Amino acid sequence: MARKTTRRTSYSRNSKPQKSIFAKAIRFIICTFFILLFFAAVYHYRDGLKYYLGFKSDKVLDEDAVDKHLSDVRNIRVLENHKGKVIGIDVSEFQGKVQWDEVEVLEEKYPVQFVFVRATAGNDRVDRQFKKNWEGAKEHKIIRGAYHYYRPNENSIEQANLFIKTVKLQKGDLPPVLDIERLPKNQPLDSLKKGLKRWLNKVEAHYQVRPIIYTGESYYDDFLKEEFGQYLFWIANYNFYREKIEDDWLFWQFTEKASLPGIKHRVDVNIYNGDLQQLQFITVE
């Protein structure tokens, strides 16, 4: 039986696969792009970074504090972009017990001049900190407003009645707010809109002032902007690229991660699209 012989194929060193020059060029371009993007972002937010890293203040930050504040670098830029407009916050039981005597200035520079307080949720839930927050804001001369968290799958009139029963507006308070963030699970969109209108009409008839609607920017654009155009809107948008309030927004909630003396947990910060005199003009008479 003849023995099979295996032929070995020899390769020269010059025949080894070479990386494509084109592929190298692409990688170089991509790496360069991201490096430039990084430095552009650092330059764009340089004021906030300097502030939080201590270059513009005498305070010394430990590692935890630096990590905590770096997420708020954008906040500084947004606040700087809105000098002359009124800054406020919104609170609920999720912020715990607020020490209202310490709630005065945000970032050691921006006075807190209004607050929205969660009052109710759905048809059966009163915020556990509502009474203390409502009274605390009044006592410390912060313009206050109350909001209701709307549950799409619960009766709208029952929700309105709970809010009316809980919130006693006084002269100088902001109009009531309807907070709508979710879509219904077991009903069409038209039914949701009818329910929202029933809540709004019931509350307006009681307080004799038109409510404000709070929602996210996408929800506003997709479902509410056209059909609820007669209402004023408080819009939430935390996106990094957005740094200025839109002309048709009454309030803009631009962050949910701010730190403020007197509040243990992170808090939402809002900008009113006007000055203090204009804010006082829309309060209850």
Coil, strand, or helix at residue 129?
Answer: coil
- Of 181, 221, 227, 248, the active-site residue reads 181
* Alpha helices (H) along the chain: 21-44, 46-52, 63-70, 73-81, 130-139, 156-166, 189-207, 217-219, 276-281
247 given a catalytic annotation: no
How would you write 152-221 as a 3-class SS string? CCCCHHHHHHHHHHHCCCCCCCCCCEEECCCCCCCCCHHHHHHHHHHHHHHHHHHHCCCCEEEEEHHHHH
Rounded distance between C-alpha atoms, residue 88 and residue 202, angstroms: 27
- Of 72, 90, 107, 268, the active-site residue reads 90
221 given a catalytic annotation: no
Active-site residue list: 90, 181
